[in-house]
Structure 1
Amino acid sequence: MQIPRPSEDVKAFFRAVVPSAPGVEVKPMFGNLGAFVNGNMFAGLFGDDIGVRLLEDQSVAALAAVPGTGPFGPAERPMGGYTALPAAWRESPEQASEWIAVALEQVGRLPVKQPKPRAAKKQA
């Protein structure tokens, strides 16, 4: 599977709509970007698609009802729990910011994710 790369414009847009808040960081992921809070991803890029992770059924249903939303990630294996925001929202960043803030709030309630220990190097 070829992983699509986001355009520089989409990366700049993504960084602009991810809020600066305690525990939030934007990191590169497989040639894309992910936004994390306390080690848990709440938003990300897959090519030019922006996806958010929502934990509450009511929020998932409300976002899914918006025209232009859909699965997030590879078509053959979308990321469970994530919804792609409408591409048209790049023209109205306040809508994207609103849903990214909802994702941050919901995922921010999860326990801090502990980093996995690095695997020991094999001896020759």
Structure 2
Amino acid sequence: MAYDEELADRIREIVRDEPGLTEKRMFGGLAFLVNGNMAVSASGQGGMLLRVDPADGPALVERPEASWFEMRGRPMNGWLRVETSGLDTMPRLASWVSLGVGYARSLPAK
């Protein structure tokens, strides 16, 4: 499944003025990186892949649209999948994107 280009455009609209922003195809989707650190991605499996502070993950996955991102059947702490139902409005999308961008910005530049 290809990533949702409309979602990628909506994310791009939110992050377009971020310093150090790059785009890269990763994990079957289109990732948005800040200073070389992935913040968010329009996922090739639908919805969005989001990188967050691992300490915040448990509270965030309590939201119905969020779940742990799994790699090889293992949940990855600090990585979430957000279903499209949680991205249906620009304010909701921007809220999720700001979490990813904020965390990516807190990491050392690559």
Give 4+ residue runs of structure 1 displaced > 4 Å after superposition.
77-80
- The number of residue pairs the alignment matches comes to 109
1 CA distance for matches of 2:2 and 2:106?
A: 30
Q: Deviations over 1:34-87 (max 9, x none)?
A: 111111111113222202111151x32331111121133557355542111131
Percent of paired sites with the same residue? 27
Residue 106 (structure 2) aligns with: 109
1 CA distance for matches of 2:98 and 2:8?
A: 17
Change (3 A) 1:67 1:19: farther
Kept after mapping to 1: 8 A contact 2:54/2:77: no
Larger mean CA deviation between 86-95 and 74-83 belongs to 74-83
Give the counterpart of 1:83 among 80, 83, 100: 80
Give the counterpart of 1:51 among 49, 52, 56: 49
1:1-124 superposed matches below 5 A: 4-29=1-26, 31-47=28-44, 48-57=46-55, 59-72=56-69, 76=73, 79-113=76-110
Change (3 A) 1:73 1:17: farther
Q: TM-score, normalised by structure 2?
A: 0.78
Q: Which has the higher strand share?
A: 2
SS of residue matched to 1:108: helix
Kept after mapping to 2: 8 A contact 1:64/1:70: yes
Larger Rg, first or second structure (1 or 2): 1
Residue 118 (structure 1) aligns with: none
RMSD between superposed Cα atoms in Å: 2.4
Structure 2 gaps of 5+ residues are none
